[in-house]
């Protein structure tokens, strides 16, 4: 079996230009010359282009997928939300939530983005693919059932999980979110359920400002099945690997999932404009190696990565390429042009020891 890669050119056509970075334009905020939001098509498109240039694409099972069906969407989102989203989309676009502008056809493009993840999960749980990557855009992990925010219009990963569970292909699922922002949407959807373990690694106090605390562990039947790991700015390469080894992998081993899905954002990278975490392409490579090994140990290798954030048009392609190299075991490489620079810029030994101590303290509270 091989690694699947799900993508569609139309996902790059998602548009919304009401912002200057994360600030609404108007008043004293001058519009930008670019598309406005930091969530643009270029970081994703340049990843696909780099894969084509190196030949990595040739080592993957490259596929497209249909739009997620209304039945798929209704398992997560109420009809009232979907109907209003569709109405606004047909009328030329608008904004339903916070930092979620979209243009004409936005409903269909968001449904296609969700459909890529649905198809990736379906192919893996059916045994058609060993593992898979969905180059989904717009992203999904901030989207609540009835309120979109943070560039996310539909809860892509939750839609895919619910579809797989409805077909009887997965009972227990881990969602590991290593996007630098808290996966508040996924958390909200599964907060009272014991069949989906949600683990979010995120920069403390980044976005959203009012979610992601370590004390938020779920409620009711879901108590203990939501794990937030808020990391201090500057955590860096060894810090992220320490989190994986001391918190993430032990929790997965206890939970014993049928499937692992990663909310795969690259905004923890060292030069991302929306975060300050100092991860490198090799960080994402090694995290992928670890989670792939965990999937092989606990759920017959069933692993899907769904693209989330990451806003450096220069560096996301190298982070994504390293991730896909590890996922597919391809020998097609794209050497990191920033490797030496970012090695020097990693936390000092003293600060790294402090970071590890903070992570160990977090682990003791879980």
Residue 165 binned pLDDT confidence (cut-offs 50, 70, 90): very high
pLDDT, tens only, 271-293: 999 999 999 999 999 999 999 99
Residue 1 pLDDT > 90:
no
Taking the mean position of all CA atoms in its chain, how far away is CA 315? 16
Please compute the mean of the pLDDT values over residues 150-179 and round it to a whole number. 98
**Which residue of the set 77, 142, 202, 298 is catalytic?**
142
* pLDDT for the residue 33: 67
Domain holding 26, by residue range, is 3-364
What is the pLDDT, as a whole number, of residue 31? 82
Euclidean distance between CA atoms 36 and 328, whole angstroms: 34
Give the pLDDT mean for 8-26: 89
Contacts 24+ apart (CB under 8 A), 91-94: 93/15, 93/16
Q: Is residue 217 within 8 Å of 209, Cβ to Cβ?
A: no
The residue-averaged pLDDT of 302-306 equals 99
- pLDDT, position 271: 95
Domain CATH code at residue 43: 3.40.800.20
**Residue 141 is a catalytic residue:** no
In 2-141, which ranges are E strands? 3-6, 19-20, 23-24, 61-63, 93-95, 101-103, 131-134
- Cα 117 to Cα 132: distance, rounded to the nearest angstrom: 9
Q: What is the bridge-based pairing of β-strands 61-63 and 3-6?
A: parallel
Q: Are 324 and 60 in contact (CB under 8 A)?
A: yes
Q: Total domain count for the chain?
A: 1
Stated pTM of the model = 0.97
- pLDDT higher than threshold 70 for residue 359: yes
Instruction: Give me the chain's average pLDDT, please.
Output: 96
pLDDT greater than 90 at residue 304:
yes
Cβ atoms of 321 and 51 closer than 8 Å = yes
Note the pLDDT of residue 22.
Answer: 87
- For residue 248, pLDDT over 80 is answered with yes
Q: Give percent of the chain above pLDDT 70.
A: 99
Q: What is the pLDDT of residue 35?
A: 66
């Amino acid at each position: 079996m091989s690694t699947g890669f799900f993508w569609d050119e139309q996902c790059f056509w998602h548009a919304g230009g009401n912002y200057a970075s994360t600030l609404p334009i108007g008043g004293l905020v001058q519009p930008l010359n670019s598309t406005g939001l930091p969530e643009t098509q270029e970081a994703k498109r340049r990843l696909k282009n780099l894969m084509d240039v190196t030949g990595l694409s040739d080592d993957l099972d490259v596929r497209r997928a249909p739009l997620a069906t209304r039945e798929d969407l209704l398992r997560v989102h109420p009809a009232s939300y979907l109907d209003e989203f569709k109405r606004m989309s047909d009328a030329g676009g608008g904004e339903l939530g916070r930092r979620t502008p979209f243009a004409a056809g936005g409903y269909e493009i968001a449904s296609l983005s969700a459909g890529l993840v649905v198809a990736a999960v379906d192919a893996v749980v059916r045994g058609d693919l060993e593992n898979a990557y969905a180059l989904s855009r717009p992203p999904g992990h901030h989207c609540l059932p009835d309120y979109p925010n943070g560039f996310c219009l539909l809860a892509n990963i939750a839609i895919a999980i619910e579809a797989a569970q409805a077909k009887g292909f997965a009972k227990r699922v881990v969602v590991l979110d290593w996007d630098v922002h808290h996966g508040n949407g996924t958390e909200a959807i599964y907060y009272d359920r014991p069949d989906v373990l949600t683990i979010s690694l995120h920069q403390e106090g980044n976005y959203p400002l009012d979610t992601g605390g370590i004390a938020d562990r779920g409620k009711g039947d879901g108590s203990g099945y939501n794990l937030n790991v808020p990391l201090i700015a500057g955590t860096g390469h060894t810090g992220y690997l320490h989190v994986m080894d001391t918190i993430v992998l032990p929790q997965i081993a206890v939970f014993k999932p049928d499937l692992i899905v990663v909310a795969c954002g690259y905004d923890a990278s060292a030069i991302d404009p929306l975060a300050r975490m100092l991860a490198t392409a090799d960080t994402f490579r090694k995290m992928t190696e670890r989670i792939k090994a965990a999937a092989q140990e606990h759920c017959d290798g069933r692993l899907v990565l769904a693209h989330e954030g990451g806003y450096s048009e220069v560096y996301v392609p190298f982070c994504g390429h390293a991730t896909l190299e590890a996922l597919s075991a391809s020998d097609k490489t794209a050497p990191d042009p920033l490797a030496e620079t970012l090695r020097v810029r990693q936390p000092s030994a003293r600060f790294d020891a402090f970071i590890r101590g903070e992570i160990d303290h977090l682990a003791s509270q879980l």
